[in-house]
Structure formats: C-alpha cells, structure tokens
Amino acid sequence: MTDAQPKPRLTNAAREALTCYLFLLPWGIGFLAFVIGPVAASFVLGFMDYEIVTPARWVGLSNYIELFTDDQRFGMSMGNTLYYVLVFVPLHILVATLLALLLNQKARGIAVYRTLFYVPSIVPIVAGAILWVWILQPEWGLINSTLRSVGIEGPLWLASLTWSKPALILMALWGSGAAMIIVLAGLQGVPQHLYEAAEIDGANRWQRFQHVTLPMLSPTLFFILVLSVIASFQVFTTAYVMTGGGPAESTLFYMLYLYRRAFVLLDMGYAASMAWILFVAVLALTLVQFKLASRWVYYEAEQS
C-alpha cells in the first residue's frame, strides 16, 4: 500500500477523488442493492398481483382501489393505528417532559433517578413485552393484584376490547426515558440569563416556564413529536408479541395487517401497495407538521 510502486500517473486530486469513491463503495453497493432497488421494486409491485406461487400479473390500480373501497381491515387497522398515535404521542411527550423537568431540579441522587427512568427504554422490546404481559395478567399480574388490594377489580387489559390498546400504550410509556434524556438536554441548553432576566421583570415560576422554558424547548419538543409520530404509525412488535392483533382485532395495527398480508397470506403486491400508502400518509403528515411548526416552534437564530 505504499506510493513508491510505479502506478499509472494520476494527479493528486484525481487520486484523492478515486480514494474517496473507493471508501464510499461498500455503502454505495448496499444502497443500490438493498435500498434503491427494493424501493423501486416495491413501487412497481404495488401495481401487480403477486402471490409468489403464481407469476406476477400487472393489475394497474386495482390493489389501491380494493384497499380503499373493499377492504374493511384496511380501514379498521388504520383506525386502530390512529387511536394509538393520537393517544400515545401526546402522553409520551408529556411524560418525557415532566420527568425531564423533575430531573432538572436540584435534588439528592439525581444521577440515580436519571438512570432508573432511562433504563426501561433500552430494554429489548420482546423481553419488555413479555414482562408486561405478565404485569398486565388479569388474575395474578402486578397491576390488578395491586388494584385488588385497594378494593378495585382491574380490567382484563390485553384480553379486553376497550383496554387492549391502552394497555399497549401504557407499556410503551414505560419506555419514555429516551425522549426524556433529549428533553433534559434541551432544558439544560436554556441560557440561565433568560431566567434571571425574567425574574428581574417579576415573572413568577409559571410565567417563567411559559415564556422562557417552553419557547426555548419547542425545537426539542418538535423534534420528538416528528420522530414519535413516524415511529408510532409503525407500531408492530409489541402488538405482535403481546396480543397478536387481538382480541377481536382490536390491536390489529396497520403494520401488523401489512405483515399478515405479506408473510402469512403471501400477498406481496397488495402488501407493497399498503406500504406505499403508509409511507405517503406519514410523509404528508410530517410535512404538515413542518408547515405548522413556524406557528409554535421558536428558533433563536431567526430572531437575531
């Protein structure tokens, strides 16, 4: 690997460029083979009927038409997913923010509390899911046992039509620690002199929170909002492990239905069109959030 060997004459710039491309080659191969290729294929597959055993057949828009007009599960799974997103995301941001505010106080042993709040978010999701099936177990589980000892008969949780989705949300909230750390970093980035200035102006604690903390924190909250909306639209593993979509398909989320279509019913074309609908829907929602952001997200750089 020394330069002493006689090589075809290359200028330094050309050699540098060549090295650059060479170093990027592994990623480039992966990108073409496992990203761009599949994305293009997925788009085409959405217009085909392909059930693996029979050759693929061009069917135009019929997958999309069937989805929107003839597939009850499509609407239902989207409804279940929207329920999950609309309940989980606000609670997630609220819990993360409250915990971060709590940790931002001066108190003894704060590092220990920070670790304790954070650790559930790094627990392997399947292990966490199994643990929560046991915690939510109606008869002997931790939650209902505790409720019973104060005289309340708890719901059936994962076996109940009404409580299955809240149960999954509860479990997901246990993992709010990652977002909490991000909010905490945001809180610690608020310049102290702003609080001092507000105090001189006679602002009380709530006013300081409302007029200093919240605006300064809004970019962080926006970041978490965007990411958790994207992630919770794709909720899959907890439902797959904990309920399998039941009871009575009350936790059949969009991704779970897509998975069934693709890998249980081997309906590949149909599943590909479902994937594109979700992608476009989430992308549109994200763009709307960015549009709305200028109304409530405060960026310091714009002001100066």
Partner 1 sequence: MIRDQAIGPQSEREIHPGARWQPLRRLLERGGIQILLVLGALIFALPFVWMVSTSLKADRQIFAFPPIWVPDPFIWGNFPAVFIYAPMHLYFFNTLLIALAHVFGAVFTCSLAAYAFSRLRAPGRDLIFMVMVSQMMIPYIVMLVPLYLLFAELEWIDTFYPLTIPAMLGTPFYIFMLRQFFLTIPMELEEAAIIDGATRLRIWWTIILPLAKPALATVAIFSFMFAWNDFTGPLIFLNTREKFTLSLGLQAFMFERRTMWGPLMAASTMMIVPILIVFFLAQKHFIQGIALTGIKA
75 with 83: CB under 8 angstroms? no
Binding status of residue 79 toward partner 1 by CB under 8 A: no
Single out the segment in contact with partner 1 by CB under 8 A; choices: 68-76, 152-160, 206-214, 260-268: 260-268
Q: How far is CA 184 from CA 52, 178, 191, 230, 272, in A?
A: 49, 10, 14, 22, 39
Smallest distance, partner 1 to C-beta of residue 104, A: 10
Q: Which of residues 191-210 bind partner 1 (CB under 8 A)?
A: none
Q: How far apart are CA 148 and CA 140, in angstroms?
A: 10
Among 147, 190, 203, 262, contact with partner 1 (rule: CB under 8 A)? 262
Single out the segment in contact with partner 1 by CB under 8 A; choices: 36-44, 64-72, 154-162, 290-298: 36-44
Binding status of residue 185 toward partner 1 by CB under 8 A: yes
Q: How far is CA 2 from CA 17, 23, 107, 108, in A?
A: 18, 17, 59, 58
What amino acid is encoded at 215 in this protein?
P
Binding status of residue 19 toward partner 1 by CB under 8 A: yes
Smallest distance, partner 1 to C-beta of residue 127, A: 4
For 160-217, give the DSSP string. Answer: -TTTHHHHHHHHHHHTTHHHHHHHHHHHHTS-HHHHHHHHHTT--HHHHIIIIIHHHH
Binding status of residue 237 toward partner 1 by CB under 8 A: yes
Q: How far is CA 222 from CA 214, 256, 296, in A?
A: 11, 27, 9
Smallest distance, partner 1 to C-beta of residue 106, A: 8
Binding status of residue 1 toward partner 1 by CB under 8 A: yes
CA–centroid distance for 225 within its chain: 9
The two tokens of residue 239 are 């439902």
Among 64, 83, 174, 209, contact with partner 1 (rule: CB under 8 A)? 174
Smallest distance, partner 1 to C-beta of residue 86, A: 20
Q: Which of residues 263-282 bind partner 1 (CB under 8 A)?
A: 263, 268, 271-272, 275-276, 278-279, 282
Binding status of residue 133 toward partner 1 by CB under 8 A: yes
Binding status of residue 298 toward partner 1 by CB under 8 A: no
The nearer residue to partner 1, 146 or 162, going by C-beta atoms, is: 146
